Amino acid sequence: MPMTLFFALLSVLMALLSAVSSWAYSRRALVEYLLNRIFAFDSSRLVKVALFLEPDYYARAMRIVPFCLLGVSGALAVLTGLLQLLGADSAAMILPFGLPGLSWHVRLDALSGFFFLVLGMPLIAVSLFGPGYVREFEHKKSLAVLGFFTGLFVAGMEMVLLADDTFFFMIAWELMSVASYFLVAFQHEQPESRRASFLYLLMAEIGALCIILGFGVLVTFAEGFSFGHIRGVALTPLWASVAFALGLAGFGMKAGLMPLHAWLPEAHPAAPSHISALMSGVMLKIAVYGFIRYSFDLLPQVYWQWGVIVMALGAVSAVLGILYALQQQQLKRLLAYSSVENIGIIFLSIGLALVFFSTGQSQSGALALLAALLHSFNHAQFKTLLFLGAGAILHQTHETSLEKMGGLIRRMPKTAALFLAGTLSIASLPPLNGFVSEWLTFQAALQANQLQSGVLRSFVPTAAAMLALTGALSAACFVKVYGIAFLGLPRSPHIAHARELTDRGMLAGLALPAALCIVVGIFPVPLIDGLRRVIENLTGAVLANITAAGWLWLTPAGAETASYSPGLVLAAFLAAGALGYVLLYRIRAVESRRAEPWDCGYGGLNAGMQYTSGAFSMPIRRIFDPVYDLRETLNQETGDSAGWRVTAIRYQFQADDKFVRFLYTPIGRSVTQSAYRLGRIQTGSIRTYLAYSFATLLFLLWVVS
Amino acid sequence: MAWLMAIGQPLLFILIAPLLTGWIKFVKCRLQNRKAPSLLQPYRDLRKLWVKETILPETASWIFSAAPVIVFAAILLAAAIVPLVAVNLPTARIADVFVMVGFFALARTFLVLAGMDIGTAFGGMGASREMTISSMAEPAMLMVVFTLAMSAQTTNLSLAMQYVLDSGLVLRPSFVFALAALMLVAIAETGRIPIDNPATHLELTMIHEAMILEYSGRSLALMEWASQIKLMLYGVLIANMFFPWHIATDFSLEALAEGLLAIVLKLAALSVLLAFSETLLAKMRIFRVQEFLSFAYLLSVLGMLSHIILEVYYG
Amino acid sequence: MVNSLSVYQQAVMLMAALITLTSFLMLGQSRLLRLVGVFAVQGLLLSASTALVAYSMALPHLYISAALSLVIKGLLIPAMLFRLIMRMNLHREMDTVEHPARVIIGGASLVVFSYYVCLPIVKLSTLITLNTISVSLAVVLLGMLLMITRRHAVAQVVGFMSIENGLFFAAVVSTLGMPMVVELGIAFDVLVAAVIFGVFFFQIRSSIDSLDVDRLSQLSEVEE
């Protein structure tokens, strides 16, 4: 067995072991029995075993052990990914499980290797962050359940990446979906958690159904169930389009592509923060992987119409996602909507790649696909960081609403500094990683000049303009998040008394993705070199130019067209910053003193004077008013009977998703109604049922004859 | 020599930018029948601020102290990649026009964060407005960039200018629209009338001033300087992108002198235009700004469409 | 590419682009007086581009149509509309556009659509200015969009006139002008139309007390 595949399988095994070890948490007697049996021959060790089984010690160990195993699994995944990106061959084997004649095919190639890397990094961060974070659940909830399903969830995701036949793929996919359902439902005592998890399960299953149907179309025309059989399948354009549409619906639903995203902003905030990080950072990427695998690898041919549809859906998700995110007052819900936005950006790039590949511009297509993959990686990093950061705030202050936060930079300086890295990355500012992928997407869109069709040529820059709008709005959104949560004055007493994280592991869990955001932003070339290999392996298109100018330079379409050297930019930035610093604080520095800020003469600045989160985004709410399903109430309390002297004003708003009201609610209602109508045939009378059977019998006899 | 120019040009930006501000003020005063301050007044203001004591608000965090440096550095970096007196700028290879837009965004982000750091009402107000305006101006700017890059087949500013220079006088409809859109974006992004009034300290109309209200002394000087450089940067971008004539193409002394003279004259002319429009127009209500910017956006989209429809042929 | 054209042809292109811009400006303009002003500018641009085509193709008879459109579309009709608005005291009235963003987006996609439709014609022809034919189609479609999105009768008339502008521009750039007789006839027709509209305004104003064309449905005899 090749080394890489071995690591990958070991990684799955570790995730499963983590699940088992969590389960063992609630079975102390069993563990005791087993340990005693194992160490029965050595009495000196029995003492240690007894120590281990000491309730306090046991609890701590059992909190940590599953996360350790998850960390090992993550490290192995990273190792697998790195080896694949460095050029290891693809490896395949058949596992002796499954149905007779339909054993599980596993295969590891460059694409799945890359996604192992995408999965591994957040997983390590989460396993560092987790032990400290779950401590608050320790006496309230069953950690065994949490750890068990986390392990299964991770194993499911890794198995999806390894699957090489439709059967195994669907098993892994369902394992991932169902395990994550239990994680979303973990805090089931809250009604919104129950609602979110039900919606999530429902949509995940509809999505899975679409994928099964899509595979069904492919398998019908192919000779067998394995991906190897499907790859060579010949399809008519109609059937290919049907299969593509089903795949888009299925994977798009899991990825949270609009308008199939309704579950996402409900489910992600409902789960514990480290799970939200995994779901947003990794699970959505698994859906992206599925979509790329499905459309670039399994489908025999792509058509430009598909590309246009994917691009349009991506653009809509990106713009609307960030517009909805801007109006959220719950931090985690805001982050969830921002995930919809980032998935939109990724799908926009994928759509661009489809357009280019279908019109024969494989170079540009490869560039667009590269941008999509890189953005997947980047999003996994900064979204993990931001969700874990939100988790850290939640853990220290038990607060999720932005409206109550403020001034945390003074109470939690380390968390604030790490969160800033995530903020700047997701706002795609140079020289961090978010900017690199946005830059590459723009460069790919600029290749539209090569397209023959003028309509496509005008469509691509329009999509790029949507991307530009998204970028600017996401900067506004995350500046708001940082400015409201970390800067200014604390808006509530428990925020004012927040404490910095003391658990080193939690800080390390934040620091790892932050470091990656910076490093990948400054030295993207090694990663892009690996991605080049992934794309060559997947599509056969060789991107010769992009890293041709050396390890410091990105030249996506030749040095004449565009070039960017983040390393040198950073160096210049540091030089200019040093110049500014010297000017400001060194050369004949004048002393500074602290004084009260200007408060309009009201005598003491207080938190109520600040702009709130809702106030910050008010202009955007007005400008993009038609997008929102807006409900606002304004209550004025007046001091006198005439109503002239206003003593208090209370303004509340809720800017909801229009899709929920105009798409989901009608669908839900019509489903209920038709179910009600169908219910009428259930009369409860035995004679009616006899009549049904009789009618069916008659019908069948008629058909048979 | 090329690298010397690359270092020299940003320094030139630093040096000339206050003069440009002084010149605009001068023209505006004359247009409004007022007595103008000396052209060197902005330098005197900067010097005055430089020796003054810096007062930090009690609630300020490190973001507040770091912001002037970061803003200044980001704007300076943006200035380093825009050819001022000569094309063939080696730094234009390090960072292209998208990165320049990114630097502007970086500077803006820290400006806004600094505004929100103190916890005053004005800081948040300016921050909210600045982000709203920029979130509509930046896409228009990028569309302009797209139109230019599609014509010139490059996003490298130096090469793009070279392309325009080489093709001589060509009336491109797309460029006309792009020019108009860029001018509107420049007005919005540099906070001039009718979007924002740089001279105002009227509490409810401020945008840029509201964010830097708590700065004083040297930090304020650095912030002001950065915004002066930004103004000049937009001027240079408009002048050299659309009218690059007489910019130096080699590094001989005559060529450089000619280039310097040319850009000074072009900037002077643009400033007169700006002063005229500032004299004629009144500041808009904040919610009318979106109409202004969507017009800029419309222009940039039309520029892109007319490039595709009118300027590309099938032989 | 555009570099290979002569300066006059480039100028015609530019005019075409500016005419599209005026159509968009009309689409987004809610004040009636400014609407008429923009319409006058469109007429002037039209006349200028006709003169340019006349010069670059050396077709003297086009000078006459240039002069005609200058006088009728650039001056006469706008002046009439202007007087009408003043007399009927409409100059403060706003004909607000509902959902301006959607209308403008719709307009932009109409431009792309007309380009798509005209592509086969452009590919077949050798005439270099023919690229502008999609622009003239776009002007026609934008004029229709203007008529659809507006309530006010004056705005509708302006939309109608700008449709005619688009057709005229198409004639100039694609077939180098129509026969003189036809052109004179059309110019006269437009003028007559403008006069009739003027009368018509007074009529509907006196019968429904408004120039809001949605109110015309009041005249229907069908009970709602």
pLDDT in tens, A627-639: 888 888 888 888 7
**Residues β-bridged to residue A657:** A628
Lowest mean pLDDT: which of A178-192, A432-446, A452-466?
A: A452-466
At residue C106, the pLDDT reads 85
Radius of gyration of chain A (CA): 27
The identity of residue C67, as a single letter, is A
pLDDT digits (tens, 9 = 90+) for C185-198: 777 777 777 777 77
* Burial grade of A670 (CB within 10 A; 0-12, 13-18, 19 or more): exposed
Residues C17, B301: C-beta atoms closer than 8 Å? no
pLDDT digits (tens, 9 = 90+) for A324-373: 999 998 999 999 999 999 999 999 999 999 999 988 888 888 899 999 99
How far is Cα B299 from Cα A376, in angstroms, rounded to an integer? 33
Q: Report the run of H or E that residue C214 belongs to, with start and end.
A: none
Residues from chain A contacting residue B125 (CB–CB below 8 Å):
611
Query: Which residue blocks in A163-280 are alpha helix, DSSP H?
Result: 166-184, 191-221, 227-231, 237-255, 264-270, 273-278
At residue A52, the pLDDT reads 62
The two tokens of residue A28 are 């102390």
Across the range A479-484, mean pLDDT stands at: 93
- The band of A623, judged by pLDDT with boundaries at 50, 70 and 90, is confident
Residues A458, C101: C-beta atoms closer than 8 Å? no
Q: Please give, rounded to a whole number of angstroms, the shortest distance from the CA of C131 to a CA of chain B.
A: 6
Residues C13, B302: C-beta atoms closer than 8 Å? no
- The band of B238, judged by pLDDT with boundaries at 50, 70 and 90, is very high
Residue with tokens 């380093």: B80
Q: Please give, rounded to a whole number of angstroms, the shortest distance from the CA of B163 to a CA of chain A.
A: 12
CB B226 within 8 A of CB B72: yes
How far is Cα C86 from Cα C83, in angstroms, rounded to an integer? 5
At residue C20, the pLDDT reads 87
Inter-helix orientation angle B97-117/B121-152, to 10° = 180
Residue with tokens 């050595």: A42
DSSP letters spanning chain C: -GGGS-HHHHHHHHHHHHHHHHHHHHHH--BHHHHHHHHHHHHHHHHHHHHHHHHHHT-THHHHHHHHHIIIIIIIHHHHHHHHHHHTT-TT-B-PPSSHHHHHHHHHHHHHHHHHHHHHHHHH---GGGGGHHHHHHHHHHHHHHHHH--BHHHHHHHHHHHHHHHHHHHHHHHS---HHHHHHHHHHHHHHHHHHHHHHHHHHHHHSS-BGGGGGGG--S--
Count structural domains, chain B: 1
Interchain CB contact of C99 with A (< 8 Å) = yes
Closest partner CB to B80 (pick from A572, A591, A600)? A572
Interchain CB contact of B298 with C (< 8 Å) = yes
DSSP category for residue C216: G
Closest partner CB to B63 (pick from A409, A449, A605)? A409
* CB count in 10 Å sphere of residue A467: 27
Inter-helix orientation angle A166-184/A191-221, to 10° = 170
| Pick from B21, B131, B8, B22: nearest CA to B79 | B8
Whether residue C224 lies inside any domain: the answer is no
Rounded to 5 degrees, φ, ψ at A227 are -60, -30
Three-state DSSP at B249 gives coil
A55 preceded by cis ω (within 30°)?
Answer: no
Lowest mean pLDDT: which of A568-572, A586-590, B291-295?
A: A586-590
Residues 6+ apart with CB under 8 A from A163: A104, A105, A106, A107, A169, A171, A172, A227
Which of the other chains make 3 or more beta carbon contacts under 8 angstroms with chain A? B, C
Share of chain C above pLDDT 70, in %: 78
Across the range A436-464, mean pLDDT stands at: 84
Rounded to 5 degrees, φ, ψ at B128 are -60, -45
At residue B166, the pLDDT reads 86
At residue A290, the pLDDT reads 93
pTM as predicted? 0.90
At residue B315, the pLDDT reads 37
At residue A370, the pLDDT reads 92
Residues C2, B170: C-beta atoms closer than 8 Å? yes
Scanning B116-135 for CB atoms below 8 A from A yields 116-125, 127-129, 131-132, 134-135
Across the range A213-236, mean pLDDT stands at: 85
CB C42 within 8 A of CB C22: yes
Residues 6+ apart with CB under 8 A from C125: C174
CB A301 within 8 A of CB A332: no
CB B253 within 8 A of CB B4: no
Lowest mean pLDDT: which of A51-55, B55-59, C105-109?
A: A51-55
Residues B146, A605: C-beta atoms closer than 8 Å? no
Determine the structural domain holding residue C94 and report its residue range. 2-219
Scanning B255-284 for CB atoms below 8 A from A yields none
Count structural domains, chain C: 1
Whether residue B315 lies inside any domain: the answer is no
Hey, CA dihedral for B184, B187, B188, B190, is it positive or negative? Answer: positive
Across the range C96-121, mean pLDDT stands at: 78
The identity of residue A140, as a single letter, is K
The two tokens of residue A674 are 């038709």
Across the range A72-88, mean pLDDT stands at: 88
Q: How far is CA A589 from the centre of its chain?
A: 47
Residue with tokens 């203001």: B45
Residues A482, B113: C-beta atoms closer than 8 Å? yes
CA dihedral A15, A20, A26, A29 (to 10 degrees): -140
The identity of residue B182, as a single letter, is L
Closest partner CB to B138 (pick from A443, A468, A479)? A468
pLDDT digits (tens, 9 = 90+) for B117-146: 988 888 888 999 999 999 889 889 988 988
CB A391 within 8 A of CB A565: no
Three-state DSSP at A96 gives strand
At residue A319, the pLDDT reads 93
Determine the structural domain holding residue B261 and report its residue range. 2-310
Residues from chain B contacting residue A428 (CB–CB below 8 Å):
102, 105
Radius of gyration of chain C (CA): 18
CB A471 within 8 A of CB B136: no
Per-residue pLDDT for B2 more than 50?
yes
Whether residue B287 lies inside any domain: the answer is yes
Residues A626, C115: C-beta atoms closer than 8 Å? no
Three-state DSSP at C31 gives strand
pLDDT digits (tens, 9 = 90+) for B90-116: 888 888 889 999 999 999 999 999 999
How far is Cα A89 from Cα A96, in angstroms, rounded to an integer? 23
Residues 6+ apart with CB under 8 A from A31: A24, A53
Residues A596, B58: C-beta atoms closer than 8 Å? yes
Inter-helix orientation angle A110-133/A284-292, to 10° = 170
Interchain CB contact of A626 with C (< 8 Å) = yes
CB B19 within 8 A of CB B260: no
Query: What is the C-alpha end-to-end distance of chain A, expressed in Å?
Result: 57
pLDDT mean across residues, chain A? 86
Most confidently modeled range among A143-147, A412-416, C208-212:
A412-416
At residue C32, the pLDDT reads 82
pLDDT digits (tens, 9 = 90+) for C55-89: 887 778 888 888 888 888 888 888 888 888 888 77
The residue in chain A having the minimum alpha-carbon distance to the alpha carbon of residue B128 is A616
